[in-house]
Amino acid sequence: MRSSFPNAMIKKIETWRWRYRDPKSGRTRRAAEAMSEEEAKQKFPGAERIEGSRVLRELHDDFADTLPRVFRPEEAD
């Protein structure tokens, strides 16, 4: 399959679901979203990966901003 952006740089980030101990209740909980190891260390110190939950997230370096304002000419003051 050909990419529609042949010169685009695609960066892949490995993310996982995480298990952590809630400091208030002491119970083991699971993070709601997948996150990178760095994000998990910041948000949930001591968190452990949940095996089999790895997801590769793609980030495009030169992805065009497609918000509606992009397609409208700037209004003059």
Residue 46 and residue 10 in contact, taking contact as beta carbons nearer than 8 Å: no
At 77 the pLDDT is 47
**pLDDT by residue, tens only, the chain of 77 residues:** 455 555 557 788 999 999 999 989 999 999 999 999 999 999 999 999 999 999 998 877 666 666 666 555 665 44
Give domain limits for the chain: 10-71
pTM tops 0.85, yes or no: no
